[in-house]
Structure 1
Amino acid sequence: MKLSFNFAIVALALPFALSAQSAVTQVAEPEARQDLGALKQTAEQFLRTQASGLPGEVKVTVGSIDPRMKLPTCTTPEAFFPPSSKAWGKTTVGIRCSVPSPWTIYVSAKVQVHGDYVVAAVPLAQGQNITQADIAKVKGDLTAMPAGIITDASQAIGRTVANSIRLGSPLRQDALRNQQAIQQGQAVRVIVNGAGFSVSSEARALNNANEGQLTQVRTTTGQVISGIAKLGGIVELTY
């Protein structure tokens, strides 16, 4: 009888012991943590993609992530630009996770683009028309240059200097004007192009206009029409 009683106690205690052991095992099992190195790679790949359209060789440097940061594992971390961040120079990249556990972190980074840009090979005077001999190409970090930097010589040749430019200074889009094509009072030739036809007539310019600008002319019949100014005293209309 005593033996049977002992067996009964063991039988009753066994499920509780197994349950307790299972609970201990579950508590002891560590939660999976996100690989921080993989997050740096996510940020770097994102920045390279964003800079893929920039002219030149792209160099991306991503700052370190605090190793004390313990983030739950994310299956598909997503990189993004926070407001006011940019794709080059010193910038910040956000990385977020939606599932299984939402979190967001921010990583500092630097994107450099080494390529050619156009500088003045000689001092350029205000009003001067730029020729190939007036400019040169040099290499440098384009992200450290002023906004609107000119990287292709064709963007400068034939244009007019808005303000004097010193020797060796980078050329910017806003520092140049298109060459004057039409002068007020000048006799011009109006060319009208359409589907399967092209006609021309004489007219007189009513205002000054640089190449590519919209200008008005008065025809020999007194009609005022608008067209695009072209070099050589031409005003072009397309229908």
Structure 2
Amino acid sequence: MRTAFHFFRRLRHPLCALALFAISTTAALAQVSPLTSALEDFVRTQTQGLPGKVNYAITPIDSRTQLAPCQVFEPFLPQGAKLWGRTNIGVRCLGPASWTIYVPVQVSVSGNYLVSSRNLPGGSLIGPGDIAVRTGDLSTLPTSILTDSAQALGKTLKNGIAGGQPLRSDLLIAPWAVQQGQTVKTVSSGPGFSVSSDGRALNNAADGQIVQVRTPSGQTVSGIARPGGIVEVSH
């Protein structure tokens, strides 16, 4: 009894109280760690294909949030959200409890992007000398920003822009792969066969766009325009 009495008296000492607080805090952090790990794994996996160096910061869960113990976490992106800039990640507990929370996260992507090297009037055909490369946080720029010169070269500028302005896909027009009135070759292929014939394009179309073609027999078919006057027709 005497030994036990002295033990409990020692617990009243400030240093002992501090030690007990540290133990309880460590235990609480250990409970949060699997959730944090699941969130970090999710962010790393989902941002692997982004064009640049990815940095992220996950906002710690509010200590006042009361969550039932969970062994299996399922992170997900809310509908319409993406891991770009400031956003939220949803987390479902799959067992033994059942709850869902949303955790704020900031994702920045440091990489190269294209700007105009000088003032360019509308209608300009973009060449190598019209492009300059800058480095910055892509998440702060429009989502249509161009990051590779191949995305801009040979395309036409819709409207004039000043030097140093970011080049965006919505500012450029792709060259026509097929022009109205042009003689084109329609190509149709499938398992075990490939058929081609000539025709005349009825509209302008860039690479990947739909073009209508009139065949020598007078029939009109639709296909996908490809460079070189090729039209892919599926059946």
Q: Normalised by the size of structure 2, how large is the TM-score? A: 0.70
What's 2:6 paired with?
Answer: none
> Could you list the per-position Cα deviations for residues 170-193 of structure 1 after superposition, in whole angstroms to 9, with x for gaps in the alignment?
222222111134444x55353657
What's 1:156 paired with?
Answer: 152
2:44 corresponds to 1:48: yes
- Amino acid in the other structure paired with 2:183: V
2:97 corresponds to 1:101: yes
- Whether contact under 8 Å (1:129, 1:179) holds in the other structure is no
Distance 1:237 1:104 in 2: 47
2:209 corresponds to 1:213: yes
2:158 corresponds to 1:165: no
Distance 1:85 1:192 in 2: 40
Q: Label 1:224 to 1:139 Cα distance change in 2 as closer, same or farther (>3 A).
A: same
Distance 1:52 1:63 in 2: 21
Q: Label 1:211 to 1:129 Cα distance change in 2 as closer, same or farther (>3 A).
A: farther
- Amino acid in the other structure paired with 1:165: I
- Whether contact under 8 Å (2:211, 2:231) holds in the other structure is no
2:185 corresponds to 1:190: yes
Gaps of 5+ in 1: 1-29
Alignment of 1:25-174 (within 5 A): 35-174=31-170
The farther-off stretch of 124-133 and 66-75 is: 66-75
Gaps of 5+ in 2: 1-23
- Whether contact under 8 Å (1:214, 1:228) holds in the other structure is yes
- Amino acid in the other structure paired with 1:58: V
Q: Label 1:94 to 1:205 Cα distance change in 2 as closer, same or farther (>3 A).
A: closer
What's 1:4 paired with?
Answer: none
Q: Label 1:72 to 1:130 Cα distance change in 2 as closer, same or farther (>3 A).
A: same
The farther-off stretch of 95-104 and 145-154 is: 95-104
Greater C-alpha Rg: 1
> Could you list the per-position Cα deviations for residues 148-197 of structure 1 after superposition, in whole angstroms to 9, with x for gaps in the alignment?
2222211111111122232222222222111134444x553536576787
Partner of 2:70: helix, strand, or coil? Answer: coil
Q: Label 1:53 to 1:223 Cα distance change in 2 as closer, same or farther (>3 A).
A: same
Q: Label 1:180 to 1:106 Cα distance change in 2 as closer, same or farther (>3 A).
A: closer
> Could you list the per-position Cα deviations for residues 59-87 of structure 1 after superposition, in whole angstroms to 9, with x for gaps in the alignment?
11011222344434322233222344322
What's 1:8 paired with?
Answer: none
Distance 2:66 2:182 in 1: 76
> Size of the alignment, in residue pairs?
206
Q: Label 1:62 to 1:155 Cα distance change in 2 as closer, same or farther (>3 A).
A: same
Partner of 1:58: helix, strand, or coil? Answer: strand
Q: Normalised by the size of structure 1, how large is the TM-score? A: 0.69
The farther-off stretch of 112-121 and 123-132 is: 123-132
The farther-off stretch of 125-134 and 82-91 is: 82-91
1:120 positional shift: 1.4
1:219 positional shift: 5.8
Q: Label 1:171 to 1:36 Cα distance change in 2 as closer, same or farther (>3 A).
A: same
Q: Percent identity?
A: 42
